[in-house]
Every structure is written in C-alpha cells, then in structure tokens.
Amino acid sequence: MKKFITYIVVAIIALPIAGGIVYSFFVTDADLAKSSIEKAYEEAPESNTIAEFEKQMALVDSAVAQFPELKSLADSLVYSNKNEWLSQVEKRESDGLIREAYYLSIEEVKQKLKSPGKAQFPSFNSAESKAWRNENIYISQFWCDAQNAFGGTIRSNWQVTLKNKAGTFVTVEVAEY
C-alpha cells in the first residue's frame, strides 16, 4: 500500500512537469520563430549597417520557411516595411562612412602640419566644413588653424579625397587650396 501511494504522489507531481516539458518542446520552435519576426520588427529599422539589416531579414525568412503559418505576421510586421527600412539603413550607413572619412581626412592633414597637436578643425556638422561621397570616393573640405614654423597661427583650407576599397579608406589626395 505504501508503494502504491508513493507511485500516485510521483505521478501527480511528474505528470504536470513532464507535460510542461513536452508542451514547451512543441511550442518553443514556433514561439522562437515568432519572436525572431517580432525582434526583426523592432531591431531591423534601427540597424546601422546593411549587413545587420540583412541578418535580421534572414532570420525572418528562416522563420517563415520553417513555419509558413507565420508568413502573415511577417508580411504585416516586416515585409511591408522592408524597402523603407532598407533606405533608412543605407542612409545611416552612408552618413556614418562620410563622417568616418571626414575625421580620417583631418588625420591626413595633421600629418602635413608642423604642430599637429595644437591644430584646430571645424566639427563634422559645422557649417564651415563639407563632406560628401560619390560612389566609393569621399571628399572632405575644411579649414585648419595651425601654427607655422614661427609660432604664428595661420588658417588654411584643405580638400582631402579618400577612396573606400573593400571597407578600407585609402588616401587619394591631400591638397591645400
């Protein structure tokens, strides 16, 4: 009789636990797929690079391929916004590269100065500086206040052209104008 009661107690405790394990095993994959779609909805528009964006889209594509019943959710949350988001990400990535090229251009000019540590340059967002890109060519124009050989401060204007080769900037030209 004591063994029988022990089996009943074990069965009462184990069944809900085992049932929960079995239930979560079947639900987890679909829930994870649904979560990846919802995560892409939140994170894809905020991606800073196209690679990050494409990674989010690949997760959505994978979820839909594995669980076709989630296609309507993916359509309404993600696919309907994909082109608009991609345009935003491309602009952010381009702006980031232009900013990076601008500050690399300043470093190129510093190499030409007698006292680079004391030189002053306008900030990227200043009305006194310009930076733009044409394909993979990045051009920056700005002034520089630097000391000459006699210790006097002189303002000069610079234009620096950089080329982006496979994600690395290469100096094309550094010119005072």
pLDDT tens-digit profile of 131-142? Answer: 999 999 999 999
Nearest partner of 73 among 43, 45, 25, 31, judged by Cα: 31
Q: Looking at residues 118-141, what average pLDDT do you find?
A: 94
- How high is the mean pLDDT of the chain? 87
pLDDT of residue 26: 53
d(CA 143, CA 119): 10
52 compared with 14, residue with greater pLDDT: 52
Q: Which of 9-13, 24-28, 113-117, 153-157 has the highest mean pLDDT?
A: 153-157
56 compared with 10, residue with greater pLDDT: 56
99 compared with 16, residue with greater pLDDT: 99
pLDDT at 158 over 60: yes
pLDDT at 155 over 50: yes
Q: What residue spans define the domains of the chain?
A: 2-77, 96-176
pLDDT of residue 29: 87
Nearest partner of 132 among 177, 103, 88, 95, judged by Cα: 95
**Other CB atoms closer than 10 Å to residue 7's CB: what's the count?**
10
Q: Looking at residues 138-149, what average pLDDT do you find?
A: 95
For 96-176, CATH number out of 1.20.120, 3.30.70, 3.30.1490, 3.10.450 equals 3.10.450
Q: Looking at residues 8-17, what average pLDDT do you find?
A: 47
The dihedral built from the CA positions of residue 100, 105, 108 and 114, taken in this order, carries a sign that is negative
pTM of the entire predicted model: 0.64
